[in-house]
Structure 1
Amino acid sequence: MARSSSPRQASRRAVSLTAQCRTQSGLRDRGEISDISASGCCVRVSGLYFRVGARVVIRPQGLEGLTGVVRWVDGDYAGVEFDREIYQPVVDHLVRLHGVTTVVPG
């Protein structure tokens, strides 16, 4: 596991949200966002290989594509820091629609 040691900019909120994921080289796969905040998300993909520092586009169901950088990778999971923060009311809306009741560590 190669997780960043820098502190998070915003608290994560647990969700189960389908997303299209695309690497800088153009490879695509469907993934699932398991937590999200205004500044980033954790996404699980099984058909793509993400590496730390890679540029990606994550397009959650119902939203435009969000560009960002992979900050850590752990198996099929990757932490993505968005280039631009999502408007907090949009995050709150996604949590209302797709929130789960599990506790997200960290």
Structure 2
Amino acid sequence: MVTNDNGDRLAPRREVLLQARCRKSSWHVFSVELGDISQGGCSIIGSAGNFEVGDIVQLRITGFRPLKAQVRWISGDCVGVEFQSALTRAVIDDLAATYGIAIRVGSVPC
């Protein structure tokens, strides 16, 4: 996670409901659901049992190149991953416009 000296995120999270494919190895590929995304990473909801902190994964979102990422945290049924290469703000805005959802305060699972 990219942060400033105060520990604050440098890129805001955008709430989405987005299906992706996750590859942990050549034989371990499965569907995941992304709950939010930022330039530096995303959260995966409902799949924590498939991950360990430190895992290197590849996420495939339809229409985009595969994204290499590392699992940084696991909390309950949520997983946070950090992208090895940051996405552009334009990509995040496009994903949020297409897959963004209105979130009530306190309803985000991660």
Check conservation: 1:22, 1:28, Cα contact below 8 A.
Answer: yes
Query: Which secondary structure does the structure 1 equivalent of 2:50 belong to?
Result: coil
Asked if 2 retains the 8 angstrom alpha-carbon contact of 1:36 and 1:91, the reply is yes
- 1:15 matched to which residue of 2? 16
CA distance in 2, matches of 1:62, 1:55: 21
1:16-45: CA deviation from partner (whole Å, max 9, x where unpaired): 111001114641110111100000000135
1:41-86 deviation line (CA, Å, top 9, x unaligned) = 0013549611101101111222111001100112432100000000
Query: Structure 2 stretches of 5 or more lacking a match?
Result: 1-6
Separation (CA, whole Å) in 2 of partners of 1:101 and 1:47? 24
Please give the TM-score of this superposition, normalised by the length of structure 2: 0.79
TM-score by length of 1: 0.82
**Superposed, which structure 2 residues align to 1:1-106 within 5 Å?**
7-24=8-25, 26-46=27-47, 49-102=50-103, 103=105, 104=108
Contact 1:43 1:79 in 2 (8 A): yes
Q: Percent identity?
A: 40
Larger radius of gyration: 2
Q: CA RMSD in A?
A: 2.3
How many residues were matched structurally? 101
Answer 1 or 2: higher relative contact order, Cα 8 Å, separation at least 6: 1
Runs (4 or more) in structure 1 with deviation over 6 Å come to none
